[in-house]
Structure 1
Amino acid sequence: MADRGGLMLGRDARAGVGRVFSPLARTLVRLHITPDAITWVGTILTCGLAVALLVPGHFVLGALLITVVVLADSLDGLVARLTGTSSPWGAFLDSTLDRIADGVVLGALAVHFLAVAPRSELTIACGVLALAALVLGGAVSYAKARAESLSMTADVGLMERADRFVVILVGTLVTGLVGPWAMLVAMAVLVAGSAWTVAQRMGAVHRQGHRVPAAGERPAADIDPEGARA
C-alpha cells in the first residue's frame, strides 16, 4: 500500500510535525474525516489563501497562513496510517493536488507583480521569474514521474518540492517586510535551482536509457504508457 507523499520534509522535520499534529489526526479519525477530504481541503485552502492574499500583496499574512496549511499537509497521511487506508490512490491524489497548489501560489505571485503592483523593471522581473518557476517546477515533478513510468528512476535533484516551497514562502514573507528585491532573489534562486534539478534528472534518465538491455529485458521505450515512443 502506498502512502501519501505530502510535503517532502526531512526525517526529523516529519517526525516533529507528526508529533504536533497527531492529536488532531486522532480527533479527525474519531469524526470519520477521510484522508481524501483532508487532502482536498488543504489544497482548496492553499489556493484560496494564495488568490485572496498574495494577489493583492498581503505577503506577510499570506505567507504565514499558507505555511500553517502546508505544515498541516501531513494530516492526510497521519489519518491514513491511523485508519489503515493508505493506498496508491491516496498518494496519487496528494501529489496531483500538490501540483495544483504549487501552480496557484506561483501564479498568484506572478499576477501580483505583473498586473497589480506598480509597474517597474523590478516588478516585471519578479513576475516573469515567477512564471518561469511555475513552468520549471512542473518539469521537475514530471521528469520524475515520467522516468518511473518508463521503469527508470529520477530521484536526484538539488531542489525538490519541499525546497521550492520553502524558498517561495520565505521569499514571500521577506518581501512583505522589506520589499520586492527579496522576491527577485527568491525567484532567481527558485528558477536556477529548478532548472538545475531538471537537468540532473534528465541526465540520470539519459544514462539509464542508453544502457544495453540484458538478455530478454524489454526496452523502456516499449512500455511508454502514452504511446510516444512505442
Structure 2
Amino acid sequence: MAKIFQVSARAGMTRVVEPVARGLLRSGVSPNAVTVAGTVGVLIGAIGFGARGHLVAGALIVTLFALTDLLDGTMARMRGGATKFGAFLDSSMDRVADGAIFGSVTYWLATQGDSWGVVAAVICLVAGQVVSYVKARAEGLGMTCNVGLAERTERLIAVGVGALLSAVVDWGLTAALWVLAVLSVITVGQRIAHVHRQAQRAEMGVDA
C-alpha cells in the first residue's frame, strides 16, 4: 500500500513540475545544474539551520530542495533521457545530501547531550549509506536491488517527521531516528538477502 501511495504521489508531483521543467530547459538550465543547486539547498537547510537547532525550518528547506530530485529527472526525460554522467552526479549528490542531513542531526543531538539520539543518528547515517551502496554494487554486477522497507524517500520522510515532532515533544526526533535506524538495518539485510538469492540462481543457471 505504501509503495502504491508513493508511486501515485510521485506521478501527481510529476504533472506539477513538468511546466517548471520545460521553462528551465527553455531558459538553458541543465538537469545537472538543478541537481547541484538542489544539493546546495539541502546543505543550507541541514547545516545552516538543522545543525543549529532550527529543526522545523531546516526540515522545510531540506524538503523543498529535495524535490529537485523529481525536477531534474523530469528535465532529463524531456531531453531524451538521463546521461551516464547525469545519473552518476545525481547519485553522488544524494549521498552528499544524506550525509549532511544526518551529520547535522547527529551534531545537534550531541550538543544537547542526547547520547541515545546520537547513537540512533549515527546508525541511520551509516546504514543509509550502506543501503545505497548495496544497490549500486548489485546493479554494477548486473543484478537488481529495488527492495527494502526504508529507501531514500522513506528515510527523508522519517527524519523530517522527527524534526517536526521535536517542536511538540523533546523526544520526538530521537524516537523517529530509532524507528528509522531499525528499519534501515532491516533494509540492509533485505537487500543483501535479495542479491544473495539472485546470485544463487545465476550460479545454478536459473533466470533471476
Normalised TM-score (structure 2): 0.90
Looking at structure 1, the residues matched to 146 and 71 of structure 2 have their Cα atoms a distance apart, in angstroms, of 24
Q: Deviations over 1:179-204 (max 9, x none)?
A: 33111111111110010011111112
Higher relative contact order (Cα pairs below 8 Å, separated by 6+ residues): 1
Alignment of 1:187 with 2:183, yes or no, is no
Looking at structure 2, the residues matched to 108 and 34 of structure 1 have their Cα atoms a distance apart, in angstroms, of 29
Moved more, 49-58 or 206-215: 206-215
CA contact (8 A) 2:138 2:145 kept: yes
Alignment of 1:53 with 2:44, yes or no, is no
Q: Return closer, same or farther for 1:83/1:207 CA change in 2, 3 Å cut-off.
A: closer
Structure 1, unpaired ranges of 5+: 1-8, 216-230
Alignment of 1:160 with 2:156, yes or no, is no
CA contact (8 A) 2:41 2:65 kept: yes
Looking at structure 2, the residues matched to 165 and 127 of structure 1 have their Cα atoms a distance apart, in angstroms, of 17
**More helix by percentage:** 2
* Matching residue of 1:23: 19
* Matching residue of 2:103: 107
Looking at structure 2, the residues matched to 27 and 47 of structure 1 have their Cα atoms a distance apart, in angstroms, of 25
Q: Once superposed, what is the RMSD of the aligned Cα atoms?
A: 1.7
Looking at structure 1, the residues matched to 94 and 8 of structure 2 have their Cα atoms a distance apart, in angstroms, of 22
Structure of larger gyration radius:
1
Structure 2, unpaired ranges of 5+: none
Q: Return closer, same or farther for 1:86/1:149 CA change in 2, 3 Å cut-off.
A: closer
Shift of 1:85: 4.9
* Matching residue of 2:191: 201
Q: Return closer, same or farther for 1:24/1:208 CA change in 2, 3 Å cut-off.
A: closer
CA contact (8 A) 2:35 2:68 kept: no
Shift of 1:69: 1.2
Alignment of 1:126 with 2:117, yes or no, is yes
Number of residues of Structure 1 aligned to a counterpart in Structure 2: 201
- Counting aligned pairs with the same residue, the percent is 42
CA contact (8 A) 1:17 1:71 kept: no
